[in-house]
Structure 1
Amino acid sequence: VRLVKHTLEIIHLLTDQNPLQVVIDAVSKGAPREDSTRVGSGGVVRRQAVDVSPMRRVNEAIYLMCKGAREAAFRNLKTLPECLADEIVNASKGSSNSYAIKKKDEVERVAKANR
């Protein structure tokens, strides 16, 4: 809880906006709209593009942002709240510096290839 509180304070200092609105923007922009799933028939497994449900989009966006912040903070002087704040701000801007945005683009590109 303390980490999230520090993160929201850092976001407010960086953007001068409501930090919860920045988080909501980051979740909506960092969520993949399309994914691919494995479809097997007759021993042949191929990938099929599918739409992502709204709940999974939210969960996936939060997961990707947390994973990106954790990787950024690992073996680094920056604290986890600082890395999480950077990740959320970059994702809310749609910046390609964000781990979540990069992964979202990659997942959607793979899904497009498997249509």
Structure 2
Amino acid sequence: MLQGRNSGKKIKTINIVKKSFSLINKKTNLNPIQVLVSAVENWFQIFYFSSPIEDSLLLGQKISNKRVSVDISPYRRISQAIYMMAIGVKKSSFKSEKPISDCLTEEILNAYKNSSSR
């Protein structure tokens, strides 16, 4: 469960995504959902080669814990790519005059074009 000042604001988040999708549609004349899927695929390809394929997990009871190597599922890698995009949007919009919907639009379009904003 999220905690902090932006927890529980689903309507606000939905409106931000709607504004961002309308901006994407105006800029590219493409379906914003398809642009988002392509952006996540591009992020996944970048993240796939830099992320580990295996992770360690603690198994055991109270006293004896043992680390076991487990494979990371592709769903988790995609979730991590989306999480990294969200963190980038949050950092770029924090203490900025630019609205968060514009930052989200730029992040999605940069990931779609495989380019960097810097």
Fold-level similarity (TM above 0.5): yes
Match of 1:110 in 2: none
Q: 1:53 to 1:16 in 2, by over 3 A?
A: same
Cα offset for 1:90?
Answer: 0.3
In 2, Cα distance between equivalents of 1:97 and 1:76: 15
In 2, Cα distance between equivalents of 1:52 and 1:30: 17
Match of 1:75 in 2: 95
In 2, Cα distance between equivalents of 1:26 and 1:55: 16
Match of 1:109 in 2: none
2:79 equivalent among 59, 65, 68:
59
Letter in 1 for 2:102: E
Match of 2:116 in 1: 96
Which ranges in structure 2 are unaligned for 5 or more consecutive residues?
1-13, 58-68
Cα offset for 1:13?
Answer: 1.3
Cα offset for 1:54?
Answer: 1.8
In the alignment, structure 1 residue 17 sits paired with structure 2 residue 37: no
Q: Say whether the 8 Å CA contact 1:27–1:58 is kept in structure 2.
A: yes
Larger radius of gyration: 2
In the alignment, structure 1 residue 30 sits paired with structure 2 residue 43: yes
Cα offset for 1:25?
Answer: 0.4
Cα offset for 1:52?
Answer: 4.7
Which ranges in structure 1 are unaligned for 5 or more consecutive residues?
40-47, 99-115
Q: Say whether the 8 Å CA contact 1:27–1:61 is kept in structure 2.
A: yes
Secondary structure of 1:10's counterpart equals helix
Q: 1:78 to 1:33 in 2, by over 3 A?
A: same
Higher relative contact order (CA 8 A, sep 6+): 1
In 1, Cα distance between equivalents of 2:71 and 2:81: 15
Q: Which moved more, 1:67-76 or 1:52-61?
A: 52-61
Letter in 1 for 2:48: R
